[in-house]
A and B are shown apart, each in its own frame.
Chain A
Amino acid sequence: MEGKEAMISLILSTATRYLLPLLLLFSIFVLLRGHNEPGGGFVGGLVASAALALYSIAYGVAAARRMLRIDPRALIGVGLLIAIGSGLLSMARGLPFLTGLWVERELPLLGKVGTPMLFDVGVFLVVIGVVLTIIFALSEE
């Protein structure tokens, strides 16, 4: 691999600029519909990290890190913390760890909200963190 600049292609970088927000929106859509239909935090996280990986291919890893702002390894921590928290909420009510608790009323846009969704958000962040850590580490060498 000679020179990082040689990798930047005009077509890819222009396309990425439009694809990135679309893919990120799609990943959130997949995350939110996940409870009763195909989708969920894992797939959503993979879509989101694919979008960010695409950005890193088009503009370089340093630019992708700058855009992400937060270290992917910290994302793993935040995601796990959210997942643990979602399990602890049920223990605070005296139910076994990770028991699903639901908000009674359906909310607009989000539908039924409960701790399993919170858990999924945690998974979403962990997947992004893990995949990006691996991809960034491999392409930075």
Chain B
Amino acid sequence: MDVVLAIAVGGLYAAGLYMMMRRSIVKLIIGLGLLSHASNLLIFTMGRLIRGRPPLIAPGAEALAEPYADPLPQALILTAIVIGFGVQAFAVVLIKRVYEIVGTDDLDQMKRTDEL
């Protein structure tokens, strides 16, 4: 299972980077989205893949009974997803404004700030 997920993470990174290298800003945003999904999946995989019970100490017990699922990677991913959601929403509005003002979605036309 780890191997499958590792390949999926790699594939997502490759696809995300490929999209980011394209000239269209829409594809740029899609690429950024794929990149953040790849990161989330990677954290998920790093949290060890086991079929565990919820990490709750049963009434009367002193410690967790094995096997239990590690809740922390899930918390990290949830936080990262929420942040990613906000950032993506901002990015979509941004490219919409850029398209309205600049009149193109071609990144090569957006060199004005780099001219001497």
Using a CB–CB cutoff of 8 Å, the interface residues on chain A facing chain B are: 42, 130, 134, 137-138, 141
C-alpha gap A58/B86 in the complex (Å): 25
Contact status A138-B93, CB under 8 Å: yes
Q: With the chains together, A92 CA to B79 CA distance in Å?
A: 29
When distances are taken between beta carbons in the complex, the residues of chain B under 8 Å from A42 are: 82
- Smallest CB gap from A135: residue in B: B89
* Min distance, Cβ B70 to any Cβ of chain A, angstroms: 18
**Count of chain B residues near A, Cβ 8 A:** 6
Instruction: List the B residue with the shortest CB-CB distance to A133.
Output: B89
Question: Which residues on B sit within 8 Å (CB–CB) of A138?
Answer: 92-93
Instruction: List the A side residues contacting B89 at CB < 8 Å.
Output: 134
Judge whether B93 and A137 touch: CB under 8 Å. yes
Measured between alpha carbons, how far is A121 from B49 in the docked complex, in Å?
Answer: 33
Chain B interface mostly helix, strand, loop or mixed?
helix
Specify the main secondary structure of chain A where it touches its partner: helix
Closest to A134 in B: B89
CB neighbours (8 Å) of B86 from chain A are 130
* CA distance in complex: A130, B86 (Å): 9
For the complex, give the distance between the alpha carbons of A32 and B86 in Å: 25
Residue numbers in A under 8 Å from B82 (CB-CB): 42
Q: How far is the CB of A45 from chain B (nearest CB, A)?
A: 11
Q: List residues of chain A with CB within 8 A of the CB of B96.
A: 141
Q: List 8 A-B contacts (CB under 8 A).
A: A42-B82, A130-B86, A134-B89, A134-B93, A137-B93, A138-B92, A138-B93, A141-B96
Query: How far, in Å, is B55 (CB) from chain A's closest CB?
Result: 13
B33, chain A: closest CB distance, angstroms: 16
Digitize B77-88: 1 where CB-to-A-CB distance is under 8 Å, 0 elsewhere: 000001000100
- Cα distance, A138 to B90, chains bound together (Å): 10
Q: Give chain B nearest CB distance to A123 CB in angstroms.
A: 11
Distance of A138 Cα from B82 Cα, bound (Å): 19
> What is the chain B residue whose CB lies nearest that of A130?
B86
Q: Known A-B contacts: A137-B93, A138-B93, A141-B96. Give 5 more (CB < 8 A).
A: A42-B82, A130-B86, A134-B89, A134-B93, A138-B92
Cα distance A130–B89 when bound, in Å?
Answer: 11
Whole-angstrom distance from the CB of B57 to the nearest CB of chain A? 13
Chain B residues whose CB sits within 8 angstroms of the CB of A130 once the complex forms: 86
- Give chain A nearest CB distance to B29 CB in angstroms: 14
Q: Which 6 A-B pairs have the closest CB atoms?
A: A134-B89, A138-B93, A137-B93, A130-B86, A42-B82, A141-B96
